[in-house]
Amino acid sequence: MEKDNLTLDDFLSRFQLLRPQTRRETLNNRQAAVLIPVVRREHPGLLLTQRSPHLRKHAGQVAFPGGAVDSTDASLIAAALREAQEEVAIPPESVEIIGVLPPVDSVTGFQVTPVVGIIPPDLQYHASVDEVSAVFEMPLEEALRLGRYHPLDIQRRGHAHRVWLSWYQHYFVWGMTAGIIRELALQIGLKP
């Protein structure tokens, strides 16, 4: 893919033609969901957050808006939309859901379902000061460039585990967030 060639129409066509397999073996039972907000532009962006440095878990990490499913959520999609509204003030009605990716296990014991949605380009983000220290947009084409992700193999609880690492500007994108972005790139048919 050459620079500035991935349009929103290209992304949507690829995503909808290559529907993700929603079945994957996961170990965790507690449910969570994140919103993968794709900003509606001819050359779309990917909205990301940096978690507050004061949080008990994943402090300072780059992440998608999201969190645990609670008893008021009608679905995983509803949980992702609620969390996006709480964390960065994305109104649920402004998100066009286009699908979900297979769930992934988090190190904190959750089965996390990534929900892909298109958001308008003119939203005013208001980061929750308790949860989010920054909101930023990365060009989707740059985010989906597989060569930007570097593997690191680690041992966790006696099992080999691959973690993906990348930088964007001064943001360190790694772990589950980098893995989800990379999975999205593979899902739309980009080659490693």
Distance, first Cα to last Cα, the chain? 12
* Cα separation, 82 vs 7, whole angstroms: 28
Q: Could you tell me the sign of the dihedral formed by the alpha carbons of 139, 145, 146, 151, in that order?
A: negative
Residue 142 is encoded by which pair of tokens?
Answer: 């740059």
| Residue 52, C-beta contacts closer than 8 angstroms, at least 6 positions apart | 59, 60, 129, 130, 131, 132, 133
* Cα separation, 25 vs 98, whole angstroms: 23
**Is residue 183 marked as binding?**
no
Pairing outcome for strands 66-68 and 45-51 = unpaired
Count other C-beta atoms under 10 Å from residue 114's C-beta: 27
Count other C-beta atoms under 10 Å from residue 132's C-beta: 20
* Cα separation, 136 vs 80, whole angstroms: 18
**Is residue 93 marked as binding?**
no
Residue positions forming the annotated binding site for Mg(2+) = 83, 87
Residue positions forming the annotated binding site = 83, 87
